[in-house]
Amino acid sequence: MIEEADNKIHEDGVARRFGFSGALVPGVELFARTTTPLVATWGEEWLSGGRVDLRFRRPVYDGEELLVDLTDGRLAVTGPDGEVRCLGSAGRTVDRPLLAGFAEAPGPAELVADPVVGPFGSVHETGTVEENEWYLDAIGEPLPLYRENAWAHPGLLLRLVNTLLMRNVALGPWIHTSSDCRFLGVARLPARMTVHGRVTDVGRRGRHEEVRYDALVLADAEPVLHVRHTALYRLSGAA
């Protein structure tokens, strides 16, 4: 299991304090391996113009085997106990979303305790072949096309969307709960990666504080991924 830096919900002790059986597998890694059968079926066409949305409904723990099923566009990820862990949908192609409003924004002078509706500070990273190779090994990605073509894995792109939150908001333990993704092009590495984002809603889900934000990922200034992303950025109370 890959741990997201400093997110203690992916450590056994902290996760148990919030009522889980153990450390949670990061949602972005569940997303990453859910894409495997989609890419195996639809290939580059999906990576450059398809869509997938995934909602993480139940916790997944390290070592569990999951079944990914796509039927008539409906996506379900089921655990070994038969319980549905993730739900969503996927399509081979999708209309290109409107990208107006995404622009460079300066990072905050200091991380904020609570996000507000409006722009996040943009993130810039260098995407390398070496990092991509490390990620493919870490998640056990079986498809060879990423290595053969030096294409960034979708999970690595979505990790940048999480980075956007972590570079703007002071976080304790937090949980990524859903991503609605539109792929706009293949990210060929090496590339200069940029993420712009804007908070669309902040509120409560049960006892927890939730943020919704839109993000646009670019590789060498070319759009490659648009995401509507949701996270519980502050967890309230331990079990």
What integer pLDDT is reported at residue 30 of this predicted model?
94
Banded pLDDT at 60 (limits 50, 70, 90): confident
Question: Is the pLDDT reported for residue 199 higher than 80?
Answer: yes
Q: What is the 3-state secondary structure (H, E, C) of the chain?
A: CCCCCCCHHHCHHHHHHCCCCCCECCHHHHHHHHHHHHHHHHHHHHHHHCEEEEEECCCCECCCCCEEEEECCEEEEECCCCCEEEEEEEECCCCCCCCCCCCCCCCCCCCECCCCCEEEEEEEEEECHHHHHHHHHHHCCCCCHHHHHCECCHHHHHHHHHHHHHCCECCCCCEEEEEEEEECCCCECCEEEEEEEEEEEEEEECCEEEEEEEEEEEECCEEEEEEEEEEEEECCCCC
pTM above 0.75, yes or no: yes
59 falls within a domain: yes
Residue 190 placed within a domain: yes
What are the pLDDT digits (tens) for 157-169?
Answer: 999 999 999 999 9
Q: What is the pLDDT of residues 19-36, one digit of tens each?
A: 777 778 899 999 999 999
Query: What is the predicted pLDDT for the residue at 239?
Result: 43
Average pLDDT over residues 9-26: 78
Residue 81 clears pLDDT 80, i.e. is over it: yes
The per-residue pLDDT for 237 is 67
Asked if residue 1 has pLDDT above 60, the reply is no
pLDDT of residue 14: 79
- Whether residue 118 is contained in a domain is answered as yes
Residue 78 in domain? yes
Q: Decide if 3 is inside a domain.
A: no
User: What is the model's pLDDT at position 23?
Assistant: 75
Q: Give me the number of domains the chain comprises.
A: 1
In a domain, 106, yes or no: yes
> What does the pLDDT read at residue 4?
52
Q: Within a domain: residue 1?
A: no
Query: In CATH, what number is assigned to the domain containing residue 218?
Result: 3.10.129.10
Q: Which domain holds residue 34?
A: 8-234
User: Between 58 and 129, whose confidence is greater?
Assistant: 129
The answer to the question of residue 2 being in a domain is no
Give me the pLDDT at residue 8, please. Answer: 66
